[in-house]
């Protein structure tokens, strides 16, 4: 009996072929073999006159899709048909998720396979035992999963083909709007608008070295019982909102001189125990976040590396939003812990984890090393970034099954004349799971360690430092923090996060700014229009609800056609018909009268009848009066890093030097309720 096994990628197929042996023939479909038509040229002649031919979705006919085989896949399809004819049975071994189920369904239709001629083979790791067990215990195709994937695909097509033409009319040709991408863009745009409206404020931080054994750093918190201003005491307009002390430059200097002559007296020491639990095993999103934080990998890079590790049999399936571990994985983890660190670091029972994100699917377990006996990173033949990602996964899986770390947090309050200072320290009393990270680069919330400090004991204060600081606007999202936000909101699925980021950048709506993501002027204009015309489409709650509805279809609790009718026919289609055709115009908060609009799809700055194209590398939050004048005069240029504004030599002597489009001169913070009289400082 000869069995044909169809997988998605050649590398995966090669590995599985080696595990199954000559009784099986393994071939790859190279992903989807058919889809909705990409252009009118892909539409068969008999359908080109149909009113729905442009979208490939016959809405009036019950949302019937028109699927066509890609020209690029013609050769693959021909080879798969030949292989299927020569096989006694066919096992569809595409990925164990919604998309994989749909690819499998398309394969059965294109290869003309009848019920009984094929079965669904699923596995979450590529090891000999797992593959043989999957081949011997296939299941039927899950048509509910297929229906959910098809509903998602049709929604994306209808949204894109329905909304994109409006963007062409009001902003510029060639633009497009995606269902999930638009919600992600809205998140980025909202953060940039917060930054555009933010006004910095200045405050002072004063520290001293307390000369105990060992010495430690303490920070001034009060002067004459008046608390010093901190960032939380200012609102977004740079105005003080709390009754605190905001020092001037002179007062900060006076305080430094005063403290240098004082002795710190221990007023209060508070020590409290703390327990630190190990982080849960990796899901797709948490792996992307940690790889970005520790390895500085983009989400797309992480997914490609994880794909290679999965196909090579090193890790389990890498597209999952479940942090749970199988009993097999728990046993393997505990066995590794006992061998490497000792049984004393094992909790009585294995730990189990559940997803916290909205709409999480628990179909697969967490990402972990494959098999029943985990290979340490040194025992693999991996190197470079593959080894680094495997090391992350290995340590995380081991650590999650170890005891909690325990320690003490100490807060010390000192009095130095009329000045109060505070120092905080933390130390581990029992390492627990942190042992798994001893020789890794991962930080574990390290703080200074404080010595034993008896009450009323006195210590000299040395190296008093004053530092003028500025409040900062909300930080831009990084790939990791955006992925985390999307996951918590229930927007998209683990397999879509990397593609969302890639698409936003490819469309010109977002660009990397160092390790952060900066929305472009074009992205801001698109988001502004979509928010005004389709507030539901870009709403996090609406998008998350849609994911929940797709889950209901996947579980057989909701019909595909009734859902599509409610979403499209009675919903978005009507909204599109009544949507505004007015082009968005953005005001520049810090430059009254200045606006940004799109002329032929190109973001343009306007002020007092003057118009100029906005430089692509100029971030929206960098636009202040000086930068506006420089851009209008044609003198603005970007630094090589593309992140800081500078003026050309033609402006020398006529404009102050700028950094990031902002004056370098110190601005006096607004006083608010601050007390800045001489009585407030020593």
Q: Same domain for 373 and 342?
A: yes
Q: Are 628 and 591 in contact (CB under 8 A)?
A: yes
**Residue 297 burial by Cβ neighbours in a 10 Å radius (0-12, 13-18, 19+):** buried
Q: Same domain for 557 and 619?
A: no
pLDDT at 679 over 50: no
Q: Same domain for 265 and 315?
A: no
Q: What pLDDT does 600 receive?
A: 84
pLDDT band, residue 538 (cuts 50/70/90): confident
Q: Same domain for 507 and 552?
A: yes
Q: What pLDDT does 646 receive?
A: 36
Q: What pLDDT does 675 receive?
A: 37
> Is residue 18 assigned to a domain?
no
Rounded mean pLDDT, 383-409: 97
Q: In angstroms, rounded to a whole number, what is the distance separating the alpha carbons of residues 27 and 19?
A: 14
pLDDT at 52 over 90: yes
Q: Are 133 and 127 in contact (CB under 8 A)?
A: no
Q: What pLDDT does 357 receive?
A: 52
Q: Same domain for 358 and 419?
A: no
- In whole angstroms, how large is the CA radius of gyration of the chain? 30
Instruction: Identify the CATH number of the domain in which residue 260 sits.
Output: 2.70.20.10
* pLDDT tens figures, 503-516: 999 999 999 988 89
Report pTM. Answer: 0.84
pLDDT at 669 over 50: no
Q: What pLDDT does 70 receive?
A: 85
Q: Are 201 and 234 in contact (CB under 8 A)?
A: yes
**Residue 279 burial by Cβ neighbours in a 10 Å radius (0-12, 13-18, 19+):** middle
Q: Same domain for 324 and 417?
A: no
H helix or E strand, kind and range, residue 143: helix 143-170
Q: Are 262 and 456 in contact (CB under 8 A)?
A: no
Choose the weakest-confidence range: 11-15, 116-120, 145-149, 656-660: 656-660
Q: What pLDDT does 446 receive?
A: 59
Token code pair at residue 129: 């035992």
> Is residue 648 assigned to a domain?
yes
Q: Could you tell me which residues come within 8 angstroms of residue 669 by beta carbon, excluding any fewer than 6 positions away?
A: 201, 202, 203, 234, 238, 240, 246
Q: Could you tell me which residues come within 8 angstroms of residue 564 by beta carbon, excluding any fewer than 6 positions away?
A: 63, 151, 154, 155
Q: Same domain for 349 and 266?
A: no
State the DSSP code for 137: S
Q: In angstroms, rounded to a whole number, what is the distance separating the alpha carbons of residues 59 and 50?
A: 11
**Which structural domain range is residue 386 located in?**
284-399
Of 546, 577, 608, the domain-final residue: 577
Rounded mean pLDDT, 641-648: 36
Rounded mean pLDDT, 378-391: 97
> Is residue 228 assigned to a domain?
yes
Split into its structural domains, the chain has a count of: 4
Q: What pLDDT does 494 receive?
A: 74
Q: What is the mean pLDDT of the chain?
A: 89
pLDDT band, residue 47 (cuts 50/70/90): very high
> Is residue 233 assigned to a domain?
yes
Q: Same domain for 311 and 376?
A: yes
Q: In angstroms, rounded to a whole number, what is the distance separating the alpha carbons of residues 320 and 603?
A: 39
Q: Same domain for 557 and 493?
A: yes
pLDDT band, residue 639 (cuts 50/70/90): low
Q: What pLDDT does 543 receive?
A: 81
Neighbours of 569 (CB within 10 A): 14
* pLDDT tens figures, 442-484: 545 557 889 999 999 999 999 999 999 999 999 999 998 999 8
> Is residue 350 assigned to a domain?
yes
Omega within 30 of 0 (cis) for the link into 191: no
Alpha helix segments (H runs only) across 261-414: 284-295, 299-311, 327-340, 384-399
Of the residues 24, 310, 317, 563, which is catalytic? 317
Q: In the beta sheet, which residues pair with residue 219? A: 207, 422
Instruction: Identify the CATH number of the domain in which residue 486 sits.
Output: 1.10.460.10
Please give the share of the chain, as a percent, with pLDDT higher than 70: 91
H helix or E strand, kind and range, residue 630: helix 625-633
Instruction: Identify the CATH number of the domain in which residue 293 sits.
Output: 1.10.290.10
pLDDT at 138 over 90: yes
Q: Same domain for 230 and 379?
A: no
Of 553, 577, 601, the domain-final residue: 577
Please give the share of the chain, as a percent, with pLDDT higher than 90: 78
Q: In the beta sheet, which residues pair with residue 274? A: 407
Instruction: Give buried/exposed letters for 606-642 (b at 16+ CB in 10 A, else e).
Output: bbeeeeeebbebbbbbbbbebbbbbbbbebbeeeeeb
Rounded mean pLDDT, 346-363: 74
The answer to whether residue 317 is catalytic is yes
> Is residue 592 assigned to a domain?
yes
Q: Same domain for 269 and 414?
A: yes
Of 577, 607, 635, the domain-final residue: 577
Q: What pLDDT does 670 receive?
A: 34
> Is residue 91 assigned to a domain?
no
* pLDDT tens figures, 81-95: 999 999 999 999 999
Q: Could you tell me which residues come within 8 angstroms of residue 674 by beta carbon, excluding any fewer than 6 positions away?
A: 229, 240, 244, 245, 246
pLDDT at 535 over 90: no
Rounded mean pLDDT, 562-577: 92
Closest-CA residue to 20 (of 140, 113, 134): 134
> Is residue 548 assigned to a domain?
yes
pLDDT band, residue 355 (cuts 50/70/90): confident
Rounded mean pLDDT, 23-47: 94
Q: Same domain for 288 and 383?
A: yes
Q: Are 109 and 157 in contact (CB under 8 A)?
A: no
Q: What are phi and psi of 623, to 5 degrees?
A: -85, 105
Q: What pLDDT does 445 receive?
A: 52
Token code pair at residue 38: 């990409």
pLDDT band, residue 207 (cuts 50/70/90): very high
Q: What pLDDT does 640 receive?
A: 40
């Amino acid at each position: 009996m000869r069995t044909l096994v169809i997988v998605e990628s050649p590398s995966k197929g090669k590995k599985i072929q080696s595990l199954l042996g000559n009784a099986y023939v393994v071939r790859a479909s190279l992903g989807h073999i058919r889809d909705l038509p990409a252009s009118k040229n892909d539409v068969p002649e008999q359908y080109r006159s149909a009113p729905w031919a442009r979208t490939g979705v016959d809405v009036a006919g019950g949302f019937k899709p028109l699927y066509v085989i890609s020209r690029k896949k013609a050769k693959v399809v021909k080879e798969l048909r030949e292989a299927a004819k020569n096989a006694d049975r066919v096992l569809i071994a595409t990925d164990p998720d919604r998309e994989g189920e749909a690819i499998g369904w398309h394969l059965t239709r294109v290869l003309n396979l009848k019920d009984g001629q094929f079965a669904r083979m699923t596995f979450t790791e590529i090891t000999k035992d797992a593959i043989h067990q999957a081949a011997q215990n296939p299941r039927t195709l899950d048509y509910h999963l297929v229906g959910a994937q098809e509903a998602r695909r049709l929604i994306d097509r209808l949204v894109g083909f329905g909304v994109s033409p409006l963007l062409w009319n009001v902003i510029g040709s060639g633009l497009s709007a995606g269902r999930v991408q638009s919600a992600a863009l809205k998140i980025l745009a909202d953060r940039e608008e917060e930054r555009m409206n933010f006004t910095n404020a200045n405050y002072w931080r004063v520290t001293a070295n307390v000369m105990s054994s060992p010495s430690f750093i303490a920070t001034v918190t009060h002067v004459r019982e008046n608390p010093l201003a901190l960032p939380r005491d200012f609102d977004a307009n740079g105005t003080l909102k709390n009754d605190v002390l905001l020092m001037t430059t002179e007062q900060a200097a006076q305080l430094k001189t005063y403290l240098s002559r004082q002795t710190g007296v221990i007023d209060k020491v508070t020590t409290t125990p703390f327990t630190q639990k190990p982080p849960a095993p990796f899901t797709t999103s948490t792996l992307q976040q940690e790889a970005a934080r520790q390895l500085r990998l983009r989400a797309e890079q992480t997914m490609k590396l994880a794909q290679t590790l999965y196909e090579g049999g090193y890790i389990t399936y890498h597209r999952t939003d479940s942090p749970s571990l199988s009993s097999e994985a728990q046993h393997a983890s505990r066995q590794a812990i006992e061998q490497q660190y000792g049984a004393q670091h094992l909790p009585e029972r294995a730990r189990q984890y559940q997803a916290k994100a909205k709409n999480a699917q628990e179909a697969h377990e967490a990402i972990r090393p494959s098999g029943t006996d985990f290979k340490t990173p040194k025992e693999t033949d991996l190197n470079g970034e593959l080894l680094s990602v495997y090391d992350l996964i290995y340590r995380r899986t081991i650590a999650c099954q170890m005891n909690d770390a325990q320690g003490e947090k100490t807060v010390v309050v000192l009095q130095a004349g009329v000045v109060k200072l505070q120092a905080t320290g933390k130390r581990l009393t029992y390492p627990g799971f942190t042992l798994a990270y001893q020789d890794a680069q991962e930080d574990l919330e390290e703080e200074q360690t404080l010595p034993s400090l008896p009450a009323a004991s006195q210590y000299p204060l040395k190296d008093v430092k004053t530092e003028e600081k500025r409040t900062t606007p909300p930080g831009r999202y990084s790939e990791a923090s955006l992925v985390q936000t999307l996951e918590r909101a229930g927007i998209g699925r683990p397999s879509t996060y990397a593609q969302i980021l890639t698409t936003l950048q490819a469309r010109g709506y977002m660009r990397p700014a160092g390790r952060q993501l900066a929305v472009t002027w074009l992205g801001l204009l698109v988001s502004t229009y979509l928010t005004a015309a389709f507030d539901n489409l870009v709403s996090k709650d609406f998008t998350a609800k849609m994911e929940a509805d797709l889950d209901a279809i996947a579980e057989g609790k909701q019909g595909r056609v009734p859902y599509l009718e409610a979403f499209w026919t009675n919903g978005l289609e009507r909204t599109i018909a009544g949507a505004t055709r007015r082009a968005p115009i953005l005001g520049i908060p810090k430059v009254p009268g200045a606006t940004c609009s799109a002329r032929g799809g190109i973001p343009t700055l306007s002020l007092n009848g003057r118009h100029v194209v906005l430089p692509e590398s100029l971030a929206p939050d960098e636009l202040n009066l000086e930068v506006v004048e420089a851009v209008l005069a044609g003198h603005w240029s970007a630094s090589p890093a593309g992140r800081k504004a500078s003026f050309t030599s033609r402006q020398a002597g006529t404009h102050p030097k700028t950094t990031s489009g902002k004056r370098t001169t110190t601005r006096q913070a607004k006083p608010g309720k601050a007390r800045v009289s001489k009585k407030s400082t020593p």
